[in-house]
Amino acid sequence: MQTQILPELLDTPAGQRADAILRKCVHCGFCTATCPTYQLLGDELDGPRGRIYQIKQIFEGLPADRAVQGHLDRCLTCRSCETTCPSGVDYGELIDIGRERVEHTVPRPLRERLMRRLLGALLPHPSRHALLFRAGSALRGLLPRRLRQKAPRIRPARAYPRGTADGPTVLLLDGCAQSTLSPNTNAAAEAVLSALGYRVLREPARSCCGAVNQHLSQTEQARDWVRRNLEQWRQVDREHGLHAIVSSASGCGVMLKDYPKILAGMPGDHHDDLDLVARIRDLSELFDADTLRARQPGFRAPEVRIGWHAPCTLQHGQRLADRLQRQLQQLGFRLEIPRDAHLCCGSAGTYSVLQPELSRRLRDNKLQALEASAPEVIATANVGCEHHLGSAGDTPVRHWIELVADGLSG
Ligand code: SF4
Ligand code: SF4
């Protein structure tokens, strides 16, 4: 599509990227059919093509207002539209650029500003949110129904058998919310990775990938996390020589893999940083059914029917869901794929707090689809989806790696 970006914006890295992305869009509207917010609201402006058009208008000089801000806020950044798009439009990057521009030009009411500041200051820091989440989990049974749904169910880390780690060294990232809400995920990940032969290191200091701040358009805070992580990884790499930097939360993985785009907007020479970032892997990329079978002949996939929920960050953001599904099925896992598997569950980072009504509707639709096959457990790959779906359904929700770790003991 043709663009006429304001010259002063075309002089900025964000304006240039927006222009390049907008020019790829041919305005065909195929993406609209697979957009969850368009399906719920039936408004073109709450679908990808409409949002792209609104961002184009902003960069061409039409002032944004609260209505435009609302349409951009209601986007889940699920990137289902990217998977559908035949022209390769980088919608995820464009929406971040558009939101940041609107954030600077359209003031929010005080209540929204405070809520967004609170989320950005609380969620990325385990030292700040751990007490709150733990208290919520402990008092869950005593809370009224509405509040109970918001209180997390924390399962402590279990002890798993360990393999002989004689292979390459990997750094397993703890994450911020996951380290508090689902410590068992990385206990299981460590056991499976070592069963696959990897020597697993844990982070010297827990950190956040920066996704929470990035999606709240708190760009400087997000960049601080990027700097802090790179510094920590450089130090570990110097001491141990890292084969890979591994995230077990697909929501973090997709952000970490976007570091090159974020670094491109930061001053300085990032040549060495890019070498480190190129070693970032989602846990599923190191997971290999044949290697596990060869190294662990006693492995038995648990005989349970599993409702499989591939997070958007795994299937659309990283395009890894099909591979992981095949690997799990090869090992004997009985995965039930729900209808409309491409649609978001409504968790989407802070979306469940900032857009509770839409988030609830998406969650209930997703649970209905998943529970149609009467699974004994729902498996997913991201801490946000795990707790969002687990807050309302009757079926327990676990990270897929925990089910694999269960199979290690036969
Ligand atoms: S983003 Fe892709 S699918 Fe959507 S309107 Fe543009 S070109 Fe078409
Ligand atoms: S990212 Fe998801 S919610 Fe946003 S426009 Fe694309 S499909 Fe719709």
Residue with CA at minimum distance from ligand 1 atom 2: 85
pLDDT of residue 342 exceeding 70? yes
pLDDT for the residue numbered 79: 98
pLDDT over 70 percentage in the chain: 97
Domains in the chain, please, with CATH?
7-107 (1.10.1060.10), 297-408 (3.40.50.1860)
Mean pLDDT of 61-73: 97
* Ligand 1, pocket residues at CB < 6 Å: 25-31, 48-49, 52, 81, 84-85, 87, 89
Per-residue pLDDT tens digits for 98-140: 999 999 999 999 999 999 999 999 999 888 877 777 777 777 7
What is the chain's alpha carbon radius of gyration, rounded to the nearest angstrom? 21
| CA 165/CA 272 separation, integer angstroms | 28
pLDDT for the residue numbered 158: 87
* Ligand 2, pocket residues at CB < 6 Å: 35-37, 48, 51, 75-81, 91
Is there a contact between 398 and 378 (Cβ–Cβ < 8 Å)?
A: yes
Per-residue pLDDT tens digits for 196-243: 999 999 988 888 999 999 999 999 999 999 999 999 999 999 999 999
Is there a contact between 247 and 280 (Cβ–Cβ < 8 Å)?
A: yes
| CA 383/CA 169 separation, integer angstroms | 24
| CA 62/CA 297 separation, integer angstroms | 64
pLDDT for the residue numbered 348: 95
Buried b (16+ CB within 10 A) or exposed e, 320-329: bbeebbebbe
pLDDT of residue 159 exceeding 90? no
Question: Ligand nearest 24 Cα, by number?
Answer: 1
Residue with CA at minimum distance from ligand 1 atom 7: 25
Q: Which of 23, 34, 38, 52 to mutate to test the pocket of ligand 1 (most atoms within 8 A of CB)?
A: 52
Per-residue pLDDT tens digits for 264-310: 989 888 988 999 999 999 999 999 999 999 999 999 999 999 999 99
pLDDT for the residue numbered 393: 83
pLDDT of residue 88 exceeding 90? yes
User: What DSSP character marks residue 63?
Assistant: P
Question: Ligand nearest 90 Cα, by number?
Answer: 1
pLDDT band at 160 (very low <50, low <70, confident <90, very high): confident
CA of 36 to the centre of ligand 2 (A): 7
CA of 406 to the centre of ligand 2 (A): 35
Question: Ligand nearest 316 Cα, by number?
Answer: 2
pLDDT of residue 177 exceeding 90? no
Q: Which residues pair with 399 in a beta bridge?
A: 380
Mean pLDDT of 148-163: 77
269 burial level (CB within 10 Å; 0-12, 13-18, 19+): exposed
Alpha-carbon distances of 405 from 102, 156, 301, 302, rounded to whole Å:
45, 15, 9, 10
CA of 211 to the centre of ligand 1 (A): 25
**Torsion-angle region of residue 64: left (phi > 0), alpha (psi -120 to 50) or beta?**
beta
Structure tokens at 389: 């779906």
Give the containing element (helix H, strand E) for 307: strand 305-308
pLDDT for the residue numbered 153: 77
Q: Which of 34, 35, 49, 93 to mutate to test the pocket of ligand 1 (most atoms within 8 A of CB)?
A: 49
Measured from the CA of 91, which atom of ligand 1 is nearest?
1
Residue with CA at minimum distance from ligand 2 atom 2: 78
Task: Return the SS3 of 4.
Answer: coil
pLDDT for the residue numbered 179: 84
Q: What is the pTM of this model?
A: 0.93
Measured from the CA of 24, which atom of ligand 1 is nearest?
7
CA of 77 to the centre of ligand 2 (A): 5
3-state secondary structure 299-365: CCCCCCEEEECCCHHHHHHCCCHHHHHHHHHHCCCEEECCCCCCCCCCCCCCHHHHCHHHHHHHHHH
Residue with CA at minimum distance from ligand 2 atom 8: 35
